[in-house]
A and B are shown apart, each in its own frame.
Chain A
Amino acid sequence: MIFKKFNIENKKARDLIPQVITVLALLSVIIYFATNAQINMGNRGISFGFGFLNQEASFDITFSMIEYDGSRSYGRAFLVGLLNTILVSAIGIFFATIAGVIVGVSRLSDNYLIAKVAEWYVEIFRNIPLILQIFFWYFAALRALPLPENGISFNDISFLTIKGWYVPKFIWTNFNIFILSVIAAFIAIYFVNSYATKQREQFGKQLPTTTISLSTLILIPLITFLFFGVSLNFEYPVLKQLSPTVYTYEGGVSIIPELIALALALSMYTATFIAENVRAGILGVSKGQKEAAASIGLNKNQILKLVVMPQALRIIIPPTTNQYLNLTKNSSLAAAIAYPDIVLVFAGTALMQTGRAIEIISITMLTYLTLSILISIFMNWYNKKMAIKEK
């Protein structure tokens, strides 16, 4: 009997076989769907392949961080969409974190007004569907902005209008040297900080690291301006008349309203969840820790910085990672307000023009998966760094 080998005593085989069969069954299902799709596509005269990525895209995109026009390929259009997705996610994560921390801390404030305002903010913004908030910031706020000829002027160098926020363009000379100096400043700060940590751990001395770091970051790049020929000029936006009543701005950089509305909506929405994480994190640190810190003579700031925050972060980071992932994925709602992210540009226009639904949707899904995994990896690394190190 062939089954004799797999009898009850052979624990290894017994454990393994169900797993192997499960994997096989799963594979069969995948193969079934793949072949079925292939056969159906064959019957309907649809070909499968990624050759279209090299074809000319022949559509333009409002806003791109790399050089692009319609004569470039679909592959290039994909890249433009991807970078735009990353840009709005990065801006969103940055502001959501700052707003989230401020609101989270405010909710615990002793000041009744501040605590209540923070509470209302959280309750309002997390309970309205994100897509409605995006529409609100785009269509309601957009209508409130003036036309270019009446743009809100900031010192005549920057203008906020319905067509976008026009800001001065930076024109660098010897930009490489400047960047190198910034990197050098960061390396210097790293060494100063590790020296300061050593001093604190060995001799209990507190060095003013924040002041030193900040001045290093300002001073070293400043030196390159004075001695290494780095200079920065600005190109200011200038009002231009297109017809008797139509105006726009020329020169400078235009931050399109779609980006502003989307980043605003994403950060305001996600900040509410981060705020709750922060509040939970701080409340999660036991009272005894604070009292113990106070009893050895640390002041309020030191208690927060040295005792409460390091412990609170351990509670805050994992759920906040989820919020970063959510924000990145939610940025795909961009398509509703014409922000040219990967969904609008690639899974929208490119899909339409080529009709290659299966290829394009799988590329787009893989892209989001990759982005999410990268964020997860980074946050897990940071979480490990912050976790209790058992010695």
Chain B
Amino acid sequence: MMKSIKTWILIGFASLLLVACGQGGGGAGSKKSKTLDNTKKAGFVKCGVSQGLPGFSNADASGNWSGIDVDVCRAVAAAVLGDADKVKYTPLSAKERFTALTSGEIDVLARNTTWTLSRDADIGLTFVGVNFYDGQGFMVRKNSGINSVNDFKDGISACTNTGTTTELNMRDFFNSKNIKYEPIAFEKADEVVQAYDAGRCDTYTTDKSGLAAQRTKMSNPDDHKVLPETISKEPLGPVVRQGDAVWEDIVRWSLNTMIEAEEYGVNSSNASSLKDSDNPAIKRLVGSEGELGAAFGLDNDWSLRIIEQVGNYGESYKKHIADTGILPNRGPNQLWTKGGILYVPPAR
């Protein structure tokens, strides 16, 4: 009997000890990149994507992901691991995405996420750039006779996704126009589409790229149209956890590399042949000049691998957004040199 009491006391002490030890864990190192080390150890990049948005991140029948958001993940994998295919995709709802990132379930969130002040500053996230400049719009049925947002009247019902900036913009918009509306917010995009398609709501509002993509899922895509007005700024971009500056830089410059490559005319087919280019900027991009990779603890060919395996931004856009008929016109997502607003700091 004495023995059993002793055992109990021992268990008690042991658990107290466990608590004392346990508190040491959990911190992210500041000098080295813990995320980079873990990614190398695991052999794949943990990337959060949408549950299916054509053009951005969408899985085909055999489970292969593609889209311009997916290409950001692939670029990071190419830079860090040398193989763009070494990505583990986690499909996330709008609601789950930030928790998945802050809790460490994923290391990069590339899920058509709008960069806002409160998200950037308040909840332990850092936005690293913009890979798609979008704006919120409205879709209506063609036969509705509604040709502009000015035709909306009191009592209109609007479907959208819950937990998105869209929900907030919608309210700002209708309030500013002084229109009473009925907001119906669903958790999943597919359910919004179904409800709108069934006639539950008169208009469907989300980012214009999303509207264009979702229209393809309607029973009769040609019966619907997107109104010309854009009611908000939606800069969509990849996000990382706050507190790992090196990892943050890797993701930021992986995206920047794709954009800068397009600017200098470097693409997946000509990249390796440009090693002896006369232009130092191009030579830096393909890794034949400078030691840029060392700053992140990567080798010098990191950017060459991105361009070769994933392609430049223009190739990615053409493949996923333009050729799929979602938004053939690049609009603001054109290089600054060609009338768009894509402008990245120089890689040097």
Bound form: Cα–Cα A45–B30 in Å? 13
A51 to B279, CA, bound (A): 55
CB of A202 closer than 8 Å to a CB of B: no
User: Shortest beta-carbon distance, A112 to chain B, in Å?
Assistant: 40
Inter-chain contact A44/B102, CB cutoff 8 Å: yes
From A33-41, A171-179, A269-277, the one touching the partner chain is: A33-41
A1's nearest neighbour on chain B, judged by CB, is: B2
Segment touching A, from B18-26, B281-289, B322-330: B18-26
A3 contact set on B, CB distance < 8 A: 2, 5-6
A143 in the interface (beta carbon within 8 A): yes
B124 contacts which chain A residues (CB < 8 A)? 41, 44-46, 355
> In the bound complex, do residue A44 and residue B243 qualify as a contact, i.e. CB atoms below 8 Å apart?
yes
Closest to B146 in A: A243
A59 and B27 within 8 A (CB): no
Instruction: List chain A residues, Cβ under 8 A from B11.
Output: 21, 25
| Interface: B252 (CB within 8 A) | no
Chain B's closest residue to A241 (CB) is B153
Q: In the complex, A250→B156 CA distance in Å?
A: 11
- Is A58 in contact with B168, judged by CB distance below 8 angstroms? yes
Is there an interface contact between B163 and A246, defined as CB atoms closer than 8 Å?
Answer: no
Residues of chain A within 8 A (CB-CB) of B184 are 62, 258, 338
Main secondary structure of the interface of A (DSSP, over half): helix
Given contacts A46-B124, A245-B144, contact A338 B186 (CB under 8 A): yes
A352 near B27 (CB under 8 angstroms)?
no
B19 near A242: Cβ-Cβ < 8 Å? no
Decide: B26 and A349 in contact? CB cutoff 8 A.
no
Q: Give which listed residue, A7, A43, A257, A355, contacts B243 with CB less than 8 A.
A: A43
Given A32-B18, A143-B198, A248-B156, answer yes or no on A59-B168 (Cβ-Cβ < 8 Å). Answer: yes
Name the CB-closest residue of A to B28. Answer: A43
Chain A residue at minimum C-beta to C-beta distance from B143: A245
Cβ contacts under 8 Å, A43 to chain B? 26-28, 243
A31 touching B185 in the complex, CB below 8 Å, given contacts A14-B1, A344-B162 = no
Contacts of B28 in A (CB 8 A): 43-44
Residues of B within 8 A of A353 (CB): 118, 163, 168
Q: Which residues of A contact B1 (CB under 8 A)?
A: 7-8, 14
User: Footprint of A on B, CB under 8 Å?
Assistant: 1-2, 5-6, 8-9, 11-12, 15-16, 18-19, 22-23, 25-28, 94-95, 98-99, 102, 118-119, 122-125, 141, 143-146, 151-157, 159, 162-164, 167-168, 170-172, 175, 181-188, 191, 194-195, 198-202, 241-243
Listed by A's residue number, 22 A-B pairs whose Cβ atoms lie within 8 Å are: A35-B23, A41-B124, A44-B124, A45-B124, A58-B171, A59-B185, A60-B171, A70-B171, A243-B151, A243-B153, A245-B141, A246-B144, A248-B156, A250-B155, A336-B187, A336-B191, A337-B186, A338-B159, A344-B162, A348-B163, A352-B95, A355-B119
Using A36-B26, A335-B162 as known contacts, list a sample of 8 further A-B pairs with CB atoms less than 8 Å apart, ordered by residue number in A: A21-B11, A25-B15, A60-B171, A163-B157, A242-B155, A242-B202, A336-B186, A351-B95
